A and B are shown apart, each in its own frame.
Chain A
């Protein structure tokens, strides 16, 4: 039964991919639509990896765009200037972002709450300013001429790998240790959990995936600009909004929110300037109706949907 459900999940994921490619081929989905879907996949990676840090380990970080930027610029530098193959460049970007997470995490994670948030925000801005002043990656002009290596399929596959890896992590002893640190650090320590280690581990792992997302992003849009919107604090806040809207500690919530909040601004393009009123209004309404996010702490799973369906059938049968 368990095997069957796993196979069903894989089949559904393949079907979704096949569906997008088919619609693309038949002209129903324009390249613009596919671009939005690819960006949604990249945002899923960002939000799910931030969820590991903020939602599961409870360390409030708002410098996620810094790691994203490191991955984006390093991988682009490697493919453009060194002519490195794409996938190793992508992984290098992720690894450097992870190392940066380690370097920032060790001192910053001694802080809590607001103080940690502000220092991670500062870190993100430092990265942006360093990039702004590095001529090798284009400086303030931006980094152009990046080859288009990222396809929808690759973004989709990486998103799946990220979600599965983080799901595996949080449902293991590692994840339980992280949640213990979030719930009560003193109790966690008294049970043999080295809280510093797990905070830094979650931070570095989250940073690694954010760096990978950056690499995918760079090789999709083919141009990077060191603006707050693209790699600065505005980007960090965007990711944070998706996370909070989806619900801290819920992976499916993060996925759902990343997709919805990538697509909604595109739909609102028709309303021109009103877009910047409608979008925040939508956020405010959702937060008023569901203050803990769409799926706080809970998961939407195929199993629960199947169980619900079976339950409904059984109820119909009984009546």
Chain B
């Protein structure tokens, strides 16, 4: 039996004071799903990502992943359990090299001890070589092998987004959350990104959930969509049915609300 990576979100609520940013949202993802989370600005999409990765406190409801309860766990624990993410406003370590950005994310698998480090014993050098090789392999996968020694902050926007994805992959995640991966990319870059995301799902067998405003990308790529509006989940299903959904059209274009 293959390992089933399954995300279950049950009645999730996130309140900031009186503001109900996310209100009783429930959905689930099967292993190796490729799903999208869409909705107008301020609908609560990023807040759901923050709740899933432990970056903001959950006011109510349950999140579980692979039978582990993620609700209100510290972010680094959730990351160690195989949930990796990228950020809407890219959060690379700008003053470090691309290679170091990736090597940092290998942290949870590091095999040497503090004593080994301070005395630079042989296991240290062996492991460092392994980490570097792994980082170069992942860079190769996203097509940035030649940028390894550039400072992350010096790369163009589109490449920074790919570095961030590569960095998330260094965690060897089972669930990858991408927050607007195509923002600021030109059509050509978006097309390459689409190919990349598909390949990641198929070759690395990971579950992917993404937030995106580029509807062409979303409709072409995702097999399953969840639509949020004012913190409520208003629709879910395959792209075709979402496009025809009356409430979704209203949320995006406005309409006569009952």
Stretch at the interface among A17-25, A94-102, A176-184: A176-184
One of A172, A174, A179, A190 near B53 (C-beta < 8 A)? A190
Residues from chain A with a CB closer than 8 A to the CB of B104 are 173, 176-177, 179-180, 188, 191, 193
The reply to whether A187 and B74 contact each other, CB–CB distance below 8 Å, is no
The reply to whether B79 and A187 contact each other, CB–CB distance below 8 Å, is no
Complex Cα spacing A176 to B108, Å = 12
Supposing A176-B104, A187-B92, A189-B75 touch, asked if A168 and B131 sit within 8 A by C-beta, the answer is: no
The reply to whether A193 and B74 contact each other, CB–CB distance below 8 Å, is no
Residues from chain A with a CB closer than 8 A to the CB of B117 are 168-169, 172-174
Residues from chain B with a CB closer than 8 A to the CB of A192 are 76, 79-80, 105, 107-108, 171
Q: Does B124 count as interface, using CB distance less than 8 angstroms? A: yes
Complex Cα spacing A169 to B118, Å = 6
**Smallest CB-CB separation from B127: which chain A residue?**
A173
Q: Does B1 count as interface, using CB distance less than 8 angstroms? A: no
Q: Mark A10-28, 1 if CB is under 8 A from B, else 0.
A: 0000000000000000000
Interface residues on B, range: 35 or more
Q: Does B199 count as interface, using CB distance less than 8 angstroms? A: no
Q: Does A165 count as interface, using CB distance less than 8 angstroms? A: yes
The reply to whether B118 and A187 contact each other, CB–CB distance below 8 Å, is no
The reply to whether B79 and A191 contact each other, CB–CB distance below 8 Å, is yes
Complex Cα spacing A190 to B93, Å = 13
Residues from chain A with a CB closer than 8 A to the CB of B94 are 183
Q: Mark A185-208, 1 if CB is under 8 A from B, else 0.
A: 011111111110000000000000
Stretch at the interface among B9-17, B95-103, B141-149, B241-249: B95-103
Residues from chain A with a CB closer than 8 A to the CB of B107 are 173, 176-177, 191-193
**Smallest CB-CB separation from B82: which chain A residue?**
A192
B29-75 interface (Cβ within 8 A of A): 53-55, 74-75
Looking at the assembled complex, report how far the CB atom of B24 sits from the nearest CB atom of chain A, in whole angstroms.
Answer: 25
Looking at the assembled complex, report how far the CB atom of B11 sits from the nearest CB atom of chain A, in whole angstroms.
Answer: 24
One of A165, A176, A177, A180 near B118 (C-beta < 8 A)? A165
The reply to whether A190 and B119 contact each other, CB–CB distance below 8 Å, is no
Q: Does A297 count as interface, using CB distance less than 8 angstroms? A: yes
Q: How many residues of A contact B (CB 8 A)?
A: 23
One of B54, B91, B103, B131 near A187 (C-beta < 8 A)? B91
Q: Does B128 count as interface, using CB distance less than 8 angstroms? A: yes
The reply to whether B76 and A194 contact each other, CB–CB distance below 8 Å, is yes
Residue among B79, B92, B128, B131 with most chain A CB within 10 A: B79
Residues from chain A with a CB closer than 8 A to the CB of B118 are 165, 168-169
Supposing A168-B120, A189-B76, A190-B55 touch, asked if A173 and B106 sit within 8 A by C-beta, the answer is: yes
A191-240 interface (Cβ within 8 A of B): 191-195
A18-65 interface (Cβ within 8 A of B): none
Complex Cα spacing A150 to B119, Å = 24
Residues from chain B with a CB closer than 8 A to the CB of A177 are 104, 107
B121-172 interface (Cβ within 8 A of A): 124, 128, 131, 167-168, 170-171
Residue among A173, A174, A195 with most chain B CB within 10 A: A173
Complex Cα spacing A173 to B128, Å = 8
The reply to whether B96 and A173 contact each other, CB–CB distance below 8 Å, is no
Complex Cα spacing A115 to B100, Å = 30
Complex Cα spacing A187 to B108, Å = 14
**Smallest CB-CB separation from A174: which chain B residue?**
B117
Residues from chain B with a CB closer than 8 A to the CB of A172 are 112, 117, 124, 128
Q: Does B215 count as interface, using CB distance less than 8 angstroms? A: no
Residues from chain A with a CB closer than 8 A to the CB of B95 are 183, 297
Supposing A172-B124, A173-B131, A187-B92 touch, asked if A193 and B103 sit within 8 A by C-beta, the answer is: no
The reply to whether B171 and A191 contact each other, CB–CB distance below 8 Å, is yes
Residues from chain A with a CB closer than 8 A to the CB of B80 are 192
Q: A residues touching B (Cβ–Cβ < 8 Å)?
A: 165, 168-169, 172-174, 176-177, 179-180, 183-184, 186-195, 297
Complex A-B, nearest 9 residue pairs according to Cβ-Cβ distance, in ascending order: A192-B79, A183-B93, A187-B91, A189-B75, A192-B108, A172-B117, A173-B110, A191-B105, A180-B104
Query: Can you give 11 contacting A-B residue pairs, CB < 8 Å?
Result: A165-B118, A176-B103, A179-B100, A180-B93, A184-B92, A187-B93, A190-B75, A191-B84, A193-B107, A194-B74, A195-B76
Known: A168-B117, A173-B112, A189-B54. 20 other contacts (CB 8 A): A168-B119, A168-B120, A169-B118, A172-B117, A172-B128, A173-B107, A177-B107, A179-B93, A179-B100, A183-B95, A186-B55, A187-B87, A187-B91, A187-B92, A189-B55, A190-B53, A190-B84, A190-B85, A192-B79, A192-B107
